């Protein structure tokens, strides 16, 4: 593990107030926070979006299987804790490519006895490898609906990594009735200098995408209400008011349902 270079999982952990980060992560995190002071609001809102969506899918759509790619350093409640809070038999596969997340995977493997969790050390850029993984196959039945969770991860893939093809490959492997849960940092609403700084590669590879570019990931899916919105506004009626403005979050969120094979 190279601790001299900032890593997304550790930088995110720093913003969330966690302890699993190093000087390089904090420096990178502080540089982004200096240019975009709302970053901590953004990460907290992104995490809250994930929790609300998982609860809604378990409670209202009977989803019992979750594939969470780009899991991050465990931050309770994680997907399985939320899902199993509603449905103790929920089964969750976590995937991340960062060794520090692997090192903390035990915190993700605390399933209820009725359900199951698994951790797969793999890269989103190799979706075939993820889908073929024996631990994934032993944990979820791809013949039944799965919620694919790509929350705050696809913006780490520049266009050269072909992110649209990757998401399509994953969705193609899922049964009708499955869902794509996605959030993605955006340039929309950001000052151009900040967008340029983030896009410069100084903070690692990736691409902020605008609303239309985000929407392309969900093409062909039936969008759940309220469609593509700030993560802070997705079915947030029970959250504290006032909700943060879009430019305090700058993360699009949406949930789409796969209706046909
Ligand atoms: C910003 S964190 C998001 C964590 C969690 N999904 C959330 O929203 O709270 C991004 C995570 O994606 C992981 N990640 C980045 N690129 C990845 C890739 N190519 N394959 C798998 N995981 C990746 C990072 O290691 C990090 O843990």
20 contacts 100 by C-beta, under 8 angstroms: yes
Q: Is the pLDDT of residue 253 over 90?
A: yes
Is any ligand 1 atom within 6 A of the Cβ of residue 15? Answer: no
Q: Is the pLDDT of residue 84 over 90?
A: yes
Q: Which of 41, 42, 67, 97 should be mutated for ligand 1, with most atoms under 8 A from CB?
A: 97
Query: What distance in angstroms lies between residue 192's CA and the mean position of ligand 1's atoms?
Result: 25
Question: What pLDDT score was predicted for residue 96?
Answer: 98
Query: What distance in angstroms lies between residue 155's CA and the mean position of ligand 1's atoms?
Result: 9
Q: Is residue 3 part of a domain?
A: no
d(CA 259, CA 261): 7
Q: Is residue 2 part of a domain?
A: no
Q: pLDDT grade, residue 35 (50/70/90)?
A: confident
Q: Is residue 236 part of a domain?
A: yes
Q: Is residue 108 part of a domain?
A: yes
Is any ligand 1 atom within 6 A of the Cβ of residue 124? Answer: yes
Spatial CB neighbours of 101, under 8 Å, sequence gap ≥ 6? 9, 71, 72, 73, 74
Query: What distance in angstroms lies between residue 238's CA and the mean position of ligand 1's atoms?
Result: 27
Question: What pLDDT score was predicted for residue 192?
Answer: 85
Q: What is the mean pLDDT of residues 4-31?
A: 94
Question: What pLDDT score was predicted for residue 132?
Answer: 98
d(CA 64, CA 51): 15
Query: What distance in angstroms lies between residue 153's CA and the mean position of ligand 1's atoms?
Result: 5
Domain of residue 149: give its range: 8-257
Determine how many CB atoms are found less than 10 A away from the CB of residue 40: 15
Question: What pLDDT score was predicted for residue 217?
Answer: 98
Q: Is residue 240 part of a domain?
A: yes
Q: Is residue 233 part of a domain?
A: yes
Q: Is residue 1 part of a domain?
A: no
Q: What is the mean pLDDT of residues 149-172?
A: 97
Spatial CB neighbours of 161, under 8 Å, sequence gap ≥ 6? 125
Closest CA to 180 of 68, 259, 83, 256: 256
Question: What pLDDT score was predicted for residue 210?
Answer: 95
Q: What is the mean pLDDT of residues 147-162?
A: 97
Q: Is the pLDDT of residue 198 over 80?
A: no
Q: Is residue 155 part of a domain?
A: yes
Q: Is the pLDDT of residue 139 over 90?
A: yes
Question: What pLDDT score was predicted for residue 193?
Answer: 83
157 contacts 241 by C-beta, under 8 angstroms: no
Above pLDDT 90, what percent of the chain?
A: 85
Determine how many CB atoms are found less than 10 A away from the CB of residue 255: 28
The number of the ligand 1 atom at minimal distance from the alpha carbon of 124 is 20
Question: What pLDDT score was predicted for residue 194?
Answer: 80
Q: Is the pLDDT of residue 1 over 90?
A: no
d(CA 148, CA 160): 22
CATH assignment of the domain containing 66: 3.40.50.150
Segment 93-135, tens digit of pLDDT = 999 999 999 999 999 999 999 999 999 999 999 999 999 999 9
State the residue for tokens 């780490």: 156
Q: Is the pLDDT of residue 200 over 90?
A: no
How many independent structural domains does the chain possess?
1
């Amino acid at each position: 593990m190279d601790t001299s270079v900032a890593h997304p999982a550790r930088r995110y952990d720093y913003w969330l107030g966690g302890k699993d980060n190093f000087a390089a992560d904090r420096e990178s995190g502080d540089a982004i926070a200096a240019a975009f002071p709302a970053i901590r609001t953004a990460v907290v809102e992104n995490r809250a979006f994930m929790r609300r969506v998982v609860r809604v899918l378990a409670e209202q759509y009977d989803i019992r299987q979750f594939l969470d790619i780009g899991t991050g350093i465990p931050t309770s409640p994680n997907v399985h804790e939320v899902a199993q809070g509603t449905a103790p038999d929920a089964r969750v596969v976590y995937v991340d490519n960062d060794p520090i997340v692997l090192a903390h995977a035990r915190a993700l493997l605390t399933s209820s006895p009725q359900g199951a969790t698994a951790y797969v050390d793999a890269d989103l850029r190799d979706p075939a490898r993820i889908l073929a993984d024996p631990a994934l196959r032993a944990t979820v039945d791809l013949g039944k609906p799965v919620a694919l969770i790509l929350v705050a991860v696809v913006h780490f893939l520049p266009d050269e990594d072909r992110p649209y093809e990757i998401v399509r490959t994953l969705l193609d492997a899922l049964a009708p009735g499955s869902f794509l849960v996605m959030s993605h940092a955006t340039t929309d609403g950001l000052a151009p200098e900040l967008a340029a700084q983030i896009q410069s590669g100084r903070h690692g590879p990736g691409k902020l995408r605008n609303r239309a570019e985000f929407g392309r990931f969900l093409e062909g899916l039936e969008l759940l209400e309220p469609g593509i919105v700030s993560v802070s506004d997705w079915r947030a009626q029970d959250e504290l008011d006032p909700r943060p403005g879009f430019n305090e979050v700058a993360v699009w969120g949406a949930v789409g349902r796969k209706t046909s094979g």
